Amino acid sequence: MIYRKANARKNAKMSTTKVILFRHILVWVLFILYEIAIIKITVGLIASPFQMGIYYALNIILFYFNAHIILDFSFFKTSRPYLTAILLIAFELLFFLFLKFQVDAWFGHANLGFRLDKLHEKLYLTNIFREIFFVGFSIAYWSLLNMVKFKDRNHIIEKAHLKQIANNLELENKYVVAENAYLQNQISPHLLFNTLNFIYNTIHKLSDRAGKGVMLLSELMRYSLLSSQDNRMVSLSEEVKQVEKLIELSTLRFKNELYLKLNKKGKLKEAQIPPLILVTLVENMLKHGDLGEKDHPGKIQVELTGNILRFTTRNLKRMSTPHAKSGMGLQNIEKRLSNLFPEKHTFTISDEDTIYYTELTLNL
């Protein structure tokens, strides 16, 4: 299929070239016949076809040489196109005048060499004006040719510009839609927090445990929402504080039958990390781990040594769980770490028969 398309393009290009060549030949034939007819009618002198072919070939060479060599070089490859073109055209006229005299001498029409008598001055002027005539048409032809090229190029550039504008408008529309969605979503957190405050104020007098659970949930959700809106880092101590609240909330949920140890080591306030990384790992542990055995408690280790943070979780695996394992949380962590700490982190997961273990190391 690709081969056929390539052949089709090649054939179309060849066909276009043939059409252009035919048009050039046709124009030259008509022009030469017109001049021969004028000379025949006005003067009545016609040279041999061979001689006329040589002279016209010389003029045609001058025409295309001026257009595709002199003008293309001057205007596309030099910093001063007009000055270069004028100088090169002057040398071109002298060179082709010399060639014309060589051809005249070959046919026996004139002697070689330049003389400054009236006969030769008239001959020089006649030949120079003849060359200027063809150079003038050559300049007109070159200008028309490049005007079409520039028009096509400007058309392509204009289309690309319009396409870019359309893409920008599309992106702007998407931005407006996203911004509107963001502003609309701001209503939901406020409504949620107001509702949680109402629930807390209603039930904490009846049940201190339930009221405390609502308060912890509200603080965790507030941290989650505010952190997701902030591109800056959060202090490691603040992230660990949210981990402690998550553990406390889960302890209330399971009526203190949750066995989990959290060990901290190092000056946690001095480090900055992306928010919700550690919280997500602990939440995954609480969601899928078996933390109900006193002899085999879950373990969380936070250790900061210089600029190196090492965070590990270890727990028994729950044999049956109502929660489906999508892995979205862990995938999200891996993507964020790859974007924020390229080649400056390690994140390993060990999923054994009964033990689930994660280890995260960050070079802060």
Per-residue pLDDT of the chain (364 residues; tens, 9 = 90+): 544 555 666 666 777 788 888 888 898 889 888 888 887 777 666 667 788 888 888 989 999 999 889 988 988 888 888 899 899 989 998 888 888 888 877 877 655 454 545 556 677 777 888 888 888 888 888 888 888 776 667 667 777 777 777 777 776 666 555 555 544 444 455 555 556 665 666 676 667 777 777 777 777 777 777 665 555 688 899 989 988 988 888 887 777 778 889 999 988 888 888 888 888 888 888 888 888 888 888 999 999 998 999 999 999 988 776 555 666 778 888 888 888 888 888 998 888 888 999 999 999 8
Cα–Cα distance for residue pair 259/290, rounded to 1 Å: 9
Assign a CATH topology to domain 204-363.
Answer: Heat Shock Protein 90 (3.30.565)
Tokens 């030769």 belong to 120
* Contact yes or no for 344/363 (Cβ under 8 A): yes
pTM above 0.85, yes or no: no
Cα–Cα distance for residue pair 225/309, rounded to 1 Å: 24
Alpha helices in the chain (DSSP H): 2-42, 49-65, 72-76, 81-107, 118-203, 208-228, 236-253, 277-288, 328-340
Nearest to 226 by CA among 264, 279, 182, 275: 275
Which stretches of 75-144 are assigned E, i.e. beta strand? none
The CATH 3.30.565.10 portion of the chain extends over 204-363
